């Protein structure tokens, strides 16, 4: 009896087990159809290109077909059981890989596919590759106020060198260059304590200031520029608007491109006589960078011939110490910002910049400053492209530079340009 009962129990369990298998097979039979891929057309394409996948067991509902290109999900735009239409997705890994289709949790075979580089899509990224303030230690460096264009009775100024030097010194200037026309006022008759920069305004058909190292005077750029370069001096091209309208900016390109001694363009001069000089400056930089790797630094100077010209234009030089070597480095690197104060108070009532940081991971330039009302970020064409103290350049692709202006009711401060390069990255 015991054994009969035992056989019946085993029989019953077997029936339940077989029935269970049968039920599960009949319930899930359609859904378990594994998709297959037989072909992909084309077999290589760029991000955004349309691709057709041929095979079996795809879903009629586009969203129910999960298509992966090198592991990145793509959007399916149309589907029937034997064909899927999709596009190569944004963010996909560039190069040789494969495509799979998953339907209802069932994954297909993989088929080879190559994602080609597309320079117009998100395989590009932008970097600041020229930052004039990169080497500035904002917490330890001094900010030294300077003016680099001044005349005396040695040319056509109304005050003697002694008076000019005394006036700038009394207003707290740290650095001054006397730049008489075709005359080197040097050495100074007296120096109360400023850093004196030896200068001369070469004044022919176009004016420019030679600084520090030069032995000869030249009234034309054709001879003067090569001379100063050979002596390892540096040059500032003065008030371009006096000679050229903005559309003639191309005239300056060969000088700045071919001569490393040509460092600055004077974009504020004597009570801002030539306001279009900032346009000329931007046009030059748009064409120099990144092709030549060079950006021209802007400068702001009184070009003072008499008392009423003084104290409107100056720059703050960011230097570890006040001497001629540090000044030359600062000029060459562009580690300074320049100012326009129409009230000529002599007290530099303009926005003060206490930090500028560039973050090539976050793609931001951040300015910390005081006494400003607003900040504009200006790009090619002297066009305002953003406002505020942080500039997000993550989408600022194929643009050569940006610069900032800090405005206040009493005066404005201008940063030097930051140079950008857009590169295609292979992931």
- Applying CB under 5 A, which residues contact Zn ion? 201, 303
**Of 183, 249, 241, nearest to 210 (Cα)?**
183
Ranges of beta strands (E only) in 168-324 are 175-178, 195-203, 207-211, 234-237, 262-269, 297-301, 313-319
Measured from the CB atom, is 174 or 302 closer to Zn ion?
302
* Smallest separation, CB 305 to Zn ion (Å): 8
- Closest to Zn ion by CB, 147 vs 413, is 147
Distance between the two ends of the chain, CA-based, in angstroms? 75
Of 108 and 184, CB closest to Zn ion: 184
Least distance (Å) between residue 303 CB and Zn ion: 5
Token digits of residue 373: 């009302």
Does residue 389 contact residue 273 with C-beta atoms inside 8 Å? Answer: no
Q: Which residue is nearest to Zn ion (CB)?
A: 303
Task: For Zn ion, give the closer residue by CB, 35 or 157.
Answer: 157
57, 81 contact by CB (below 8 A): yes
3-state secondary structure of 373: coil
CB atoms within 10 A of CB 220: 13
Beta bridge pairs of residue 370: 352
E strand or H helix that includes residue 141: none
Please, are residues 118 and 110 in contact by the beta-carbon 8 Å criterion?
Answer: no
Pick 201 or 412: Cβ nearer Zn ion: 201
Angle at CA of residue 193, ends 261 and 302, nearest 5°: 55
> What is the C-alpha radius of gyration for the chain, rounded to an integer number of angstroms?
35
Quote the CA–CA distance of 163 and 184 in Å, as a whole number.
17
Least Å distance between CB 239 and Zn ion?
8
Minimum distance from residue 284 beta carbon to Zn ion (Å): 20
The DSSP letter of residue 153 is T
**Closest CB to Zn ion among 67 and 235?**
235
State the nearest-atom distance from the C-beta of 207 to Zn ion, in Å: 6
Q: What's the closest the beta carbon of residue 339 comes to Zn ion, in angstroms?
A: 19
Provide, rounded to whole angstroms, the least separation between the CB of residue 156 and Zn ion.
Answer: 8
Backbone angles phi, psi at 352, to 5 degrees: -105, 130
Q: Which residue's CB is nearer to Zn ion, number 152 or number 279?
A: 152
């Amino acid at each position: 009896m015991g054994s009969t009962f035992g056989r019946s129990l085993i029989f019953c369990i077997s029936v339940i087990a077989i029935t269970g298998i049968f039920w599960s097979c009949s319930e899930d039979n359609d859904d378990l159809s594994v998709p297959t891929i037989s072909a992909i057309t084309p077999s290589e394409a760029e991000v955004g290109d349309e691709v057709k996948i041929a095979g079996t067991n795809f879903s009629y509902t586009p969203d129910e077909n999960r298509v992966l290109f090198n592991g990145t999900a793509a959007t399916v735009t149309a589907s029937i059981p034997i064909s899927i239409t999709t596009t190569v997705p944004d963010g996909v890994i560039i190069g040789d890989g494969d495509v799979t289709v998953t339907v209802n949790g069932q994954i297909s075979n993989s088929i080879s596919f190559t994602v080609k580089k597309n320079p117009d899509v998100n395989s590009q990224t932008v970097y600041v590759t020229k930052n004039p303030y990169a080497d500035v230690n904002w917490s330890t460096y001094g900010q030294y106020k300077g003016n680099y264009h001044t005349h005396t009775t040695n040319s056509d100024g109304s005050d003697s060198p002694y008076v000019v030097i005394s006036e700038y010194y009394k207003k707290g200037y740290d650095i001054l260059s006397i730049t008489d026309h075709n005359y080197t006022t040097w050495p100074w008759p007296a120096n109360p304590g400023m850093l004196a920069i030896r200068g001369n305004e070469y004044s022919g058909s176009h004016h420019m200031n030679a600084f520090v190292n030069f032995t000869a005077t030249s009234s034309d750029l054709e001879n003067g520029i090569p001379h100063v370069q050979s002596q390892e001096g540096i040059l500032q091209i003065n008030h371009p608007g006096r000679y050229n309208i903005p559309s003639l900016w191309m005239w300056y390109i060969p000088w700045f491109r071919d001569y490393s001694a040509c460092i600055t363009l004077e974009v504020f001069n004597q009570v801002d006589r030539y306001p279009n000089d900032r346009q000329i400056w931007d046009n030059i930089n748009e064409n120099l960078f990144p092709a030549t790797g060079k950006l021209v630094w802007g400068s702001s100077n009184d070009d003072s011939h008499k008392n009423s010209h003084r104290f409107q234009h100056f720059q703050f030089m960011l230097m570890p110490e006040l001497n001629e070597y540090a000044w030359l480095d600062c000029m060459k690197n562009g580690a300074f910002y320049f100012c326009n104060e129409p009230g000529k108070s002599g007290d530099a009532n303009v926005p003060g910049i206490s930090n500028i940081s560039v973050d090539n991971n976050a793609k931001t330039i951040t300015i910390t400053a005081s006494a400003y009302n607003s900040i504009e970020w200006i790009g090619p064409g002297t066009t305002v492209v953003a406002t505020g103290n942080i500039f997000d350049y993550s989408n600022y692709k194929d643009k050569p530079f940006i610069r900032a202006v800090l405005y206040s009711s009493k005066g404005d401060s201008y940063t030097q340009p930051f140079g950008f390069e857009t590169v295609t990255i292979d992931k």
